[in-house]
Chain A
Amino acid sequence: MRETHSARVGLGTRIGRLPHVVGLGLLTLLLLAAVSFAFPPFLEVDNVKSLLDDTALLIMLAVGEMFVLLTRSVDLSVAANAALTGMVVALFNAAHPGAGMLPVIVIAIVMGAVLGAFNGILVWKLRIPSIVVTLGTLSAYRGLVYIVSGGAWVNSGQMSPMFLGLVRVPILGVSVLSWIGFLVAVAAFLFLRFSVSGRNLYAAGNNPNAAAYAGIDVGRMQFLAFVLSGAIAGLAGYLWVARFAVAYTDVASGFELQVIAACVIGGVSITGGVGGVVGVVLGGLFLGIIKNALPVVGISPFWQMAVSGLVITVAVVLNAGARRHEGRRILEESEAGA
């Protein structure tokens, strides 16, 4: 009935988009303040840098995921994509250390985009549910990492100094890795805000029927989202391998779930058409701060997963609570309109 259908109403959408982001921003700040007040070492330069580097990867992947979620799809293969692309560029670098960084980055982005396009084409042309497609490619891409590497690790000794060093170069005191994460977020923000394709991603997911009336090809928008998500995952794959100076089959294994969690905490609706870059960045920071704060606070590393799992669960429950039951307001609404 109508009520069931209008259940997808966000806290954000009821009072304008801002409050969710503002609330999450305040919460993140509060968390940061609390942790640094109780444990001043948390704000030490090295720790902050490491926090930024960790979250840069999460935020990048989450931004890519958001494109897909906006179109009412989901991409479970982002982490496997990153692992595969990361492995391929590491092998390339090991084989051709003199080729420089440009081919590495181009390969990473193009290959990631191709892997994403494979997902996208199946969703677009064969109309297979995205969750099925990416469940399959999640396994397949991960398996391919093993095949291309023969199961071996590519470690720092085999990587060129440039390959390893690029991400660590500080600019204004912050690593290139963090800058890339920042730039991807800014680019995504501009794309979603000011480009026609970006706006059409929202339209396609918000109301596919209406999108068809407006001449927007929903399947094509889904394809575009998967390509973008794939390209970002590919780039993140190189960055990941370079940052941790090792490539192996299980790189970023299971990370796709944290990526989706960052999106959901950031206010992206799993049913499409709602969400923004700012929220996703805050969602990523929120998860990143918790993850980085736990060891500083002195919680055993074995407790970290439980705590972040708890945080994710609570966050999604709170989000859903805010979205629940708008209820029709016939009495009040029409009296106000009369």
Chain B
Amino acid sequence: MSSVLPVATETAPRRNPAWRKLLRWEVLLALVVLADFLFNARISKYFLDPWTLSDASFNFTERAIVALPMALLIIAGEIDISVGSTMALCSVVMGEVAAAGHGTPLVVLTGIVIGFLAGCFNAVLVTFFRVPSIVATIGTLSLYRGIAYAIVGDGVLKAYKPNFAYFGQGYVVGPISFELVLFGGLAILFAVLLHGTIIGRRIFAIGANPIASRVAGIRVDQYKFWIFATLGLFAGLASVLLTSRLGSTRPSIAMGWELDIITMVILGGISIDGGQGSIMGVVLAALLIGLVTFGLSLLNVPGIVLSIVTGGLLIAVVALSSVLGYSGRRRSR
């Protein structure tokens, strides 16, 4: 498989000046986050109020919770665009279970299990039937959302028990919400998993070179299967949070979230080609999107306009990284 690229015959000189290390992706992101934080603080004197900040966090925690396993999946070289639909399916099934009079524990469990199963189905399509993941999940995106519509039509499900509200509306201590604590805990968990364990290292290896990984004894398909399944499970979890926060379920819930979530991951410095990125970057990107969104809403900018900002931000930072010559952002899908 020799390529047409030149093969250098001697050791290439090392180019890694110190300033480039300073310009690490995460550092750049952190600076932008800080700048936006100051900007927000300037435009509104209420921004620095703990409760305002707490409100701001609801803008991103649910998406960010799905972004964590999505980061793993993209690092492993795959993608899942069905997560928004998975959330809708979970929410609808939870709504039906609640409507049947079951209590909160069963409702929550159902949501998470349905998400897990939806993830497993994607995994089977990709690892067993060898459908490219983007194609497979385009199919299940319609399928899962379609089932959600088929179950409730244009109805609303809201027979949730009062204690169900805690997940999306509850606070652990003072203004610190359950969602935020959960996200924080999960982010640490994922950071340790990805950067500190064999599993994480193997995920990077799979994304950087699936063939060499397989030769090195890594069960590539098994890993991919479980990442898809985990992602589904987390979509179910996020669905619990979102449904609880909204207090009701419509089949159009979480529409288009897959794009927000993937944007978050890529903005966080995870290479779409796989094999590169950090959880820290994803957390910062989630913070950034949350802050920008909240800042704009302080300026009374309508929600849809935010999508320009998100989309523009994504292109701008990736273009910037390409111009500055960050490695790992190469052509191909």
Contacts and interface: CB of A to CB of B under 8 A. Distances in A.
Direct contact between A and B judged by beta carbons closer than 8 A: yes
Contacts of B142: 257-258, 261, 305-306, 308-309, 312-313
Interface residues of A, number: 64
B185 interface: no
A300 B153 contact: yes
B333 interface: yes
A138 B307 CA distance: 9
Contacts of A304: 146
A151 interface: yes
A323 B149 CA distance: 33
Contacts of A128: 315, 318-319, 322, 329
B114 to A, nearest CB: 15
B211 A129 contact: no
B132 interface: yes
A123 to B, nearest CB: 8
Contacts of A1: 211
Given A136-B314, A212-B4, A122 B129 contact: no
Given A139-B263, A257-B141, A122 B135 contact: no
B14 interface: no
A146 B333 contact: no
Given A136-B315, A312-B139, A316-B139, A302 B154 contact: yes
Interface string A224-264: 00000000000000000000000001000110011011001
Nearest to B139: A313
Given A140-B311, A312-B139, A316-B131, A126 B144 contact: no
B304 interface: yes
A111 to B, nearest CB: 17
A330 to B, nearest CB: 18
Contacts of B322: 126-128
Given A136-B312, A140-B315, A209-B4, A129 B273 contact: yes
Nearest to A264: B135
A319 B94 CA distance: 34
A37 interface: no
Contact of B149 (A141, A253, A305): A305
A132 interface: yes
B311 A137 contact: yes
B131 A309 contact: no
A309 B139 contact: yes
Contacts of B319: 122, 126, 128
B330 interface: yes
Q: Is the interface of A mostly helix, strand, loop or mixed?
A: helix
Contacts of A317: 125, 129, 131, 136
B146 A139 contact: no
B302 interface: yes
B138 interface: yes
B302 A146 contact: yes
A216 to B, nearest CB: 13
B304 A306 contact: no
B256 interface: yes
Nearest to B317: A136
A143 B143 CA distance: 26
Nearest to A320: B131
Contacts of B332: 72, 129
Interface string B66-85: 00000000000001010000
Contact of A324 (B130, B256, B272, B273): B130
A137 B139 CA distance: 22
B175 to A, nearest CB: 30
A-B residue pairs, 4 tightest by C-beta: A306-B146, A139-B311, A309-B142, A143-B308
Interface of B: 1, 3-4, 79, 81, 125, 129-132, 134-136, 138-147, 149-150, 152-154, 211, 255-256, 259, 262-263, 266, 272-273, 302, 304-312, 314-315, 318-319, 322-323, 329-333
Interface of A: 1-2, 4-5, 7, 72-74, 122-123, 126-133, 135-144, 146-147, 151, 209, 212-213, 249, 253-254, 257-258, 260-261, 264, 270-271, 300, 302-310, 312-313, 315-317, 319-321, 323-324
Given A313-B140, A317-B129, 9 more contacts: A129-B330, A129-B333, A132-B314, A140-B307, A142-B304, A151-B304, A307-B146, A320-B132, A320-B135
